[in-house]
């Protein structure tokens, strides 16, 4: 959606502003989701390749990103804990 183009449903200036803000937040959240998913995929691909050192390095890089998504409200804390637990178990299984 083009940020310069006003949505059809918003009529009042307040509603138009809220629609603009919602679109901006939606795009930012999509970027954040992409970032944490990419970090998870890096760990998983290193585990599939059997490279323990790069998998461990990717895990160390991914954990703070996942935690940051919890603070930003992108992920629920239980979901983040589940991701971290499964990634950690898969990396430990390599050794």
- pLDDT category at 10 given cuts 50, 70, 90 is confident
- Residue range 53-62: mean pLDDT, rounded: 96
Give the CATH number for residue 19: 1.20.58.110
Distance CA 90, CA 95 (A): 10
Q: What are the tokens at 57?
A: 């390095």
Q: Is residue 25 part of a domain?
A: yes
Q: Is residue 23 part of a domain?
A: yes
Count how many domains the chain has: 1
Q: Is residue 79 part of a domain?
A: yes
Return the ∠ at Cα 75 (arms to 49 and 82), rounded to 5°: 50
Q: What is the largest CA-CA distance in the chain?
A: 61
Q: Which range of residues forms the domain containing residue 75?
A: 13-94
How high is the pLDDT of residue 68? Answer: 96
Distance CA 36, CA 66 (A): 6
Q: Is residue 32 part of a domain?
A: yes
Q: Is residue 6 part of a domain?
A: no
Q: Is residue 1 part of a domain?
A: no
- Provide the mean pLDDT of the chain: 92
Q: Is residue 4 part of a domain?
A: no
Q: Is residue 5 part of a domain?
A: no
């Amino acid at each position: 959606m083009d940020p310069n183009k006003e949505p059809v449903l918003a009529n009042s200036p307040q509603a138009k502003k809220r629609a603009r803000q919602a679109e901006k937040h939606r795009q930012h959240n999509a970027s954040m989701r992409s970032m944490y998913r990419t970090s998870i995929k890096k760990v998983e691909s290193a585990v599939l390749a059997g490279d323990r050192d790069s998998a461990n390095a990717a895990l160390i890089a991914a954990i703070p990103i996942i935690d940051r998504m919890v603070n930003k409200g992108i992920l629920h804390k239980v979901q983040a804990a589940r991701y971290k637990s499964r990634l950690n178990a898969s990396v430990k299984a390599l050794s």
